[in-house]
Chains A and B, each alone.
Chain A
Amino acid sequence: MGFNLTVNGDRLSSAAEPATPLVDVLREEMHLTGAKPVCREGFCGACMVLVDGEPTPSCLLPAALADGREIQTVEGLAPLGQLNRIQAALEVSDAVQCGMCFPGMVVSLTHLLTTRPDATSDDIRAALTGNICRCTGYERIVEATLLALATA
């Protein structure tokens, strides 16, 4: 049985098995490889996408429950090649190291910027509890987010 979903504004259909994790549908059928299946457990956040606007680890969402929903992946957050506010701030702050965690970071932080314009550094850290970075120590990511919030 197939299902339909909207990905970055495009209406798409998939014939994946119902319990297939959304991350595999995105990567293997739709060739959107920004979301990364790293832990497949909901701990690391590398597979984070927006589902109906909410940050969701796509490794834990079965394809059947993505039916009819609006998905935004990191590829959809910089339309026309223009970096969004958090992407630009991360670049200016030289926050990226290996880059493995960043698609997920950008998704979570894009959501934070739109929903919590008054976020403090503690709020930013709390929002990133489910985004693990093994390289940076987080400090520059938090600084970049504060910079993005200040340049709203």
Chain B
Amino acid sequence: MMSGTPIQNIPVAARVTPASIYVAPSLAAARDALSEYGAAGAPLAGGTWIMRSPIRHEPLKTHYVAIGRIAELSAIRISGNAVEIGAAVTHAALAAALADLPEFAGLVAAAGRSANPAIRAMATIGGNLSTSDFAAADCVPALLCLDADVEIADRNGRERISLAHFLEVRSKLAAGRIVTRIIVPRAECRTAHIRLPLRRSGDYPVAIVSLSVSVDAANRVRVARIAVGSVEPSARRWPPLEDALLGRPLDAAEAARIAAELTGEFIGRDSVDAPAWYRVSVLPGLVRRAVIAARGS
């Protein structure tokens, strides 16, 4: 992020390792190219992570397959029981497409307020979920609490797995595999996504709380899914807090009080922008804000 990253103007020759970029016209062509390249190749979606590899002192791959112009991967299909999001859909396109569906308020906030407008028009949802070294990815916790599935394809076919499982295996995905779609079931629920950046906007969030909740007629919690991002190396659900909220009235102060008792299960990550303890200590406040936002959604 901006704070803590020295401004670098590395000479061009050192920056540009020769890499081929094949602009795939179709998914079949992308799958074929990726399987041919094997471990020497990878998809290039928005490029907002890959193009910063030199700053992170990481080598580029020898071959990239650009997937941003594949129509099938850029489509969003909204039906009565699910929303299917092509992996190359940008954050801006996703936020615009779901803006009128109240149950997706959390995902719209995640996609529509991360980074800055020009980045949101480039960075894709598939790239956001696939970047295993990026702890602060906004759409990961938002989609975790929507119980999303991820479809992965290679030359031989397609497979659908839960997002939680995908997060466990993503850094070890076999060469040639590509995320094609994210499938989000529709349900009657209220959702919210609260992020704490150091500046009001533009920075990576120090911590994120995403929430999806449904209540009964007496405002008691029937289902709660809560995910925490940016605190640990990968986002994950917070089951003890979810269980503790079940059957109780949906109340922000009470949820924050319970959250404060349960933060012990997170081991924060230390980095130049925020110490580990700080990331954990802000969680109850973010839970409070998430409940307030969900009640209003």
Report A53 CB to chain B, min CB distance, Å.
11
- Among B1-27, those with CB < 8 Å from A are 1-2, 5, 7-9, 12, 15-21, 23
* B115 pairs with A130, CB closer than 8 A: yes
Q: Kindly supply a per-residue 1/0 record for chain A positions 128-140, scoring 1 wherever the CB is within 8 Å of any chain B CB and 0 otherwise.
A: 0110100000000
Complex alpha-carbon distance, A62 and B17, angstroms: 12
CA distance A42 to B122 in the complex (A): 11
Residue pairs across A and B with CB atoms within 8 Å: the count is 100
**Partner of A64 from B23, B60, B116, B121 at Cβ < 8 Å:** B23
- Residue in contact with A19 in the complex, picked from B5, B60, B116, CB distance below 8 Å: B60
Any A CB within 8 A of the CB of B51: yes
- Decide if A54 touches B202 in the complex (CB within 8 Å): no
Q: Do B19 and A19 have beta carbons less than 8 Å apart?
A: yes
- For the complex formed, measure the closest distance between the CB of B52 and the CB atoms of chain A, giving whole angstroms: 5
The B-contacting residues of A in range 17-72, CB under 8 angstroms, are: 17-21, 24, 28, 37-45, 48, 54-57, 59-62, 64-65, 67
Q: Is the CB of B16 within 8 A of A43?
A: no
Find the A residue at minimum CB distance from B46: A60
Instruction: Report if A129-B117 is in contact (Cβ < 8 Å); known contacts: A19-B17, A64-B21.
Output: yes
A127 at the interface (CB under 8 A from B): yes
Chain B residue numbers with a CB within 8 Å of A39 are 2, 5, 7
Q: What is the CB-to-nearest-CB distance from B100 to chain A, in angstroms, rounded to a whole number?
A: 20
Q: A17-B19, A60-B48 are in contact. Are A38 and B1 (CB under 8 A)?
A: no
Interface of chain B, main secondary structure: loop
Would you call the interface of chain A mostly helix, strand, loop, or mixed?
loop
Residue of A17, A48, A54, A129 ringed by the most chain B CB atoms within 10 A: A129
Instruction: Give the distance in Å from the alpha carbon of A65 to the alpha carbon of B15 in the complex.
Output: 17
Check if B198 is an interface residue, CB within 8 A of chain A: no
At the interface, yes or no: B268 with Cβ under 8 Å from chain A? no
Alpha-carbon gap, A144 to B270, bound state (A): 41
Which B-chain residue is minimally distant from A21 (CB atoms)? B51
Task: Mark A residues whose CB is within 8 Å of B.
Answer: 16-21, 24, 28, 37-45, 48, 54-57, 59-62, 64-65, 67, 108, 126-127, 129-130, 132
A-B pairs with the 6 shortest C-beta distances?
Answer: A130-B116, A64-B21, A129-B116, A18-B21, A19-B19, A60-B51
Give the interface of B toward A (CB within 8 A). Answer: 1-2, 5, 7-9, 12, 15-21, 23, 44, 47-48, 51-52, 54-55, 60, 64, 66, 68, 115-119, 121-122, 201-202
Q: A43-B2, A67-B23, A130-B119 are in contact. List 5 more A-B contacts (CB 8 A).
A: A18-B21, A20-B12, A21-B51, A56-B122, A65-B21
